[in-house]
Structure 1
Amino acid sequence: MSAESAAVNFSELVNKNKQTLARLRDTPRLLLHRRDGEDLVLTTAARAEQDRTVVSAATRMLAAMARREPGSTELLLDILPDAFPWVRFLPEADIHAFAVELVDTMRAADSLGNNASVAQLLIAWQHTAEVHSDPELLAALTRDHGEDYGSVGSSHPSPLGR
C-alpha cells in the first residue's frame, strides 16, 4: 500500500463502520487487516474506476506505440531496464520475448478488465531473471541430468525421449 493509504483492522470496519468508512474521504483506500484471512483493500467505486481507466489508457498507449513506429521496439527494449531493473540478468533474446509478451498480455488483460495475468507474467519473468542472476543455480537448472523418465506418476518413458 502506498503512503497515502491507511490501514485498520477489519474489526474496526465491523465495530465502527461509519467512522472507518469516513476515512475514505481522506485516503484513496483502506487496507483492512484480517486475522483469519488475506488482507483486503477497501476503496470507493469511483476510485476503482479511475484506477482502471488510468491502467487501461497506459496499456493502450504502450500497445499503440509498440505497433506503430519501426524503432519503437528498440525504444521499449531500451527503457525496460529502467522500469524493471532485473531484466539486465535476462539473455538478450529473452528481453525481447519479455517485451513482446508483456505488451500482448497487457492488451489482452485490459480487454477483460482483469490484470491478474499481467501480474503473473511479471512474476514469472522476474523469477527467470533471478535464475539467470545466479550462475550456480542457472547451471544446476540447465544441466542435462540424463534420461527423462517421463511425467511424475507415469510408469511410461517420455514420448519425446528426453
Structure 2
Amino acid sequence: MDNNASNSVTDELRSEAEDSDDGLKIVIDSPQTKRKSKAKHLELSPDDKEIIETVANDLEKTLEEKAAKANLTASNVKNIIKHVVTNEHVLALVRQVEDPESKINDLLVYEPKLTRAKAKELFPSQAVASIPWITQTKPSSEVQVLISEELQEDSSGDEYIPGDEEVHYWSALIRII
C-alpha cells in the first residue's frame, strides 16, 4: 500500500471518529514508520578477507578438536561460547579491560570463590594451624593466669588440720541439742 492510499484511509477514520454520537473524540493516528538507515558496508581488501577466512578456519578446527576432547559436538561448543560471550558479567569485564578509567571498575571486582577443595589443592602441605587468625594469641590477663595456674588443694596446705573440722561439727551439734 502506498502512502497516498494509507493517508486517505486514515482521513476517513478521523472523519468518522469526529462524528461520534456521544461527543467524544477518538483520534486515530497511523504509526510512523521508521526508516532504516542502510548499513555501511566496510570495504575489505582481498588480503584482509583472506586473513579473516584463515582465522575462521583455524578457530573452527580448534573448536572441533576441543569438542572431541570434551565429548561435545561443535554446535554444543559454539552454544557454550555464545552464552559466555553474551553474559553480562563477561561483557562488563571486557569493557573494564578496554576502558580502565570507567566507573565500572568499582562495581565489578571479580573475586573467585575459595572452596575447601580448592584450598586443599592450592595449599596441600600447609596445616590448618597456619591460618593467621587462629595462630595469633591474645595477651593473657591476670585472671586468665590465675585460672590456668594449678592451685594447691586445701588438704595439702600448712594450716589445714583434718580433725579440726570434725571437732567443730560435733561441738556445733552438741550446742544445738
Q: Same fold (TM over 0.5)?
A: no
Structure with the bigger percentage of strand: 1
Of structures 1 and 2, the larger Rg is shown by 2
Which bin holds the TM-score, normalised by the shorter protein? under 0.3
**Higher RCO (CA < 8 A, seq sep 6+):** 1
